[in-house]
Structure 1
Amino acid sequence: MSNQPAVLTSAADLDAAEACCGPMVRHSLTAQAAVTLAPAFKALGDPVRLQLLSMIASAPEGEICVCDLTPAFEVSAPTISYHLRTLREAGLVDADRRGTWVYYRIRPGVMRQLATLLAVETPA
């Protein structure tokens, strides 16, 4: 069995392959994995998107309606939609349309993969 992590081809692969990339302190990323993971980290680099993701992740029922997200910000609804689309395209959240509204939920496998990648082990 190889010590090299599996190669990712898209952010969608992160859910299916949670253990693909161990902590960076143990293995360096392949170029392919870096290209796949970069959009997720880039999406988290915006304060509004980071707060949106936090609100989605902490939603009591595991999902939240866009109608509950929009009023929390002092930006327009189209701007919130843009940020939510960015989070979706980065593979961080999933969305379902129900009538007029869209409900968002995090992709836990992706979140675990990003957390694992950034984990730093403390020396004994």
Structure 2
Amino acid sequence: MAARAASQAISDKFAAFSDPTRLRILHLLREGEMCVGDLVTILDMPQPTISRHLAYLRRSALVTTRKSSLWTYYSLAAAKSELHRKLLDCLTACFADVPDLKKDATRATKLKKAGGCCEPEPVARKARR
């Protein structure tokens, strides 16, 4: 039974990398955490599509989340196995020259400089007396 679960986990990781949208998301997240709004803007795809792919990546244990007030931030999960580490390394080494991924990285850099879509949490104002 444990061998079957391990085989399924490996299969899930490879399936996650086999989809172009998930590959683009993973490639972007290697630079740091992002919210759905940022990914929607960079990838120019509808929010439900991005959210569906992020849910798949979470179930495959490739992505983790952090909640902060209104926003959920996504980041790459720390490698829990040698295979997982090698797949994460491949995001940089194997796909460095893929044109779409380069374009995504350029858009991400521009968005980051502009402040991104997910604004920081509002600062609470002191009540006036």
TM-score by length of 1: 0.60
Within the candidate set 23, 48, 56, 1:50 is matched to 23
Aligned to 2:114: none
Identity %: 31
Within the candidate set 73, 76, 89, 1:103 is matched to 73
Within the candidate set 94, 98, 107, 2:64 is matched to 94
Which 5+ residue runs of structure 1 have no aligned equivalent? 1-6, 10-29, 118-124
The Cα of 1:65 is off from its aligned counterpart by 2.1
Amino acid in structure 2 at the alignment position of 1:106? L
Is the CA contact 1:93–1:105 (under 8 Å) kept in the aligned structure 2? yes
Amino acid in structure 2 at the alignment position of 1:53? L
Cα root mean square deviation, aligned: 2.6
Aligned to 2:110: none
Distance 2:36 2:64 in 1: 12
Higher helix share: 2
Is residue 34 of structure 1 aligned with residue 4 of structure 2?
Answer: no
Q: Which ranges of 4 or more aligned residues in structure 1 deviate by more than 6 Å? A: none
Amino acid in structure 1 at the alignment position of 2:13? A
User: Rg bigger for which structure?
Assistant: 2
| 1:2-54 superposed Cα distances (whole Å, 9 cap, x missing partner) | xxxxx9x5xxxxxxxxxxxxxxxxxxxx5542222111111111111001011
TM-score by length of 2: 0.58
Question: Residues 44 and 116 from structure 1, CA distance in 2 versus in 1: closer, same or farther, beyond 3 angstroms?
Answer: closer
Listed as ranges, the matches of 1:11-26 within 5 Å are none
Distance 1:43 1:36 in 2: 11
